[in-house]
Amino acid sequence: MFGDEQMKIYYIGLSKMNEKIHFIFMGKPSAGKGTSGQLIAKLHDLVEVSTGEALREIAQSGTPLGEKVEKIISTGNLVDDELITEILKQKLDSINKGIILDGYPRDITQAKTLENFFKVDYVIYFDAEDDVVINRITGRRTCPKCGKIYHIVTIKPKVDGICDVCGSILKTREDDTEEVMIKRLANYREKTEPVIDFYKQKGLLKVFNANPAFPDLKDDLINFFDELINKVREK
Ligand SMILES: [Zn+2]
């Protein structure tokens, strides 16, 4: 039997292992990484990190690095790879919990760089067909006032074309077209798909079927992560 003291040490051990779980979420644009990440992070007390958000955060920080980034973004320029990596490394180092990394690495060069400063436990590939993600985007309607997102088939508002929350008329965002999506998918195929093979060869890749719409895949998603996280704890 465990005494109180051993029990305490045992639980501290468990929570420490849990803290260290590092996931990378990968998949086509609109494969559901963001929505899934929010749910899983909440359930397992993980921190979601995306490069976009890390950049916005640092730009507002008022530090010398932040001012540099702010200047680049406000002049409409792209932040180069080296700087993104530096910011990401700072962000990841500052987190003392399990992490879900989303939006990085986008290509093989970034994947190799990441190996220098981030231990990866699992890479989750949100596997969805092209026509599924294209339908998700072209059917998406956004509230221009409060930002709430709907879908003409899967997340209908109570009244057609009207936001449930604020009553505004829903709009299709300019980028939410089949044409833009096909371009994004081509770019993804060329640059990001090789990263999936890279992790597969390392034995880190787990595939999750992301074809169903979010409400329907919620239970599968929860079970999938429960199993993975238990496995890491048992290691
Ligand atoms: Zn609204």
> Is residue 234 scored above 80 in pLDDT?
no
Instruction: Name residue 47's beta-bridge partners.
Output: 99
169 alpha carbon to ligand 1 midpoint, in Å? 8
> According to the 3-state scheme, what is the secondary structure of 43-92?
HHCCEEEEHHHHHHHHHCCCCHHHHHHHHHHHCCCCCCHHHHHHHHHHHH
> Which residues have CB less than 5 Å away from ligand 1 (the ion)?
143, 145-146, 148, 163, 165-166, 168
Clarify whether 106 is annotated catalytic: yes
Clarify whether 184 is annotated catalytic: yes
For 66-120, how does the pLDDT look when each residue is reduced to its tens digit (9 = 90+)? Answer: 999 999 888 888 889 999 999 999 999 999 999 999 989 999 999 999 999 999 9
34 vs 171: CA distance, rounded Å:
21
Helix (H, G, I), strand (E, B) or coil at 117: coil
157, 177, 175, 180: which is closest to 167 by C-alpha?
157
H or E stretch covering 110: helix 108-114
Question: In 143-204, which ranges are E strands?
Answer: 149-151
Instruction: State what percent of residues in the chain have pLDDT above 90.
Output: 71
What mean pLDDT, rounded, does the chain reach?
89
What would the mean pLDDT of 206-225 be, rounded to a whole number? 93
> Which member of 106, 171, 206, 218 is catalytic?
106
225 vs 40: CA distance, rounded Å:
8
> Is residue 2 scored above 80 in pLDDT?
no
44 vs 40: CA distance, rounded Å:
6
> Is residue 3 scored above 80 in pLDDT?
no
Instruction: State what percent of residues in the chain have pLDDT above 70.
Output: 91
Instruction: Name residue 102's beta-bridge partners.
Output: 25, 50
* Per-residue DSSP letter, 168: P
219 alpha carbon to ligand 1 midpoint, in Å? 28
For 108-119, how does the pLDDT look when each residue is reduced to its tens digit (9 = 90+)? Answer: 999 999 999 999
What would the mean pLDDT of 21-35 be, rounded to a whole number? 93
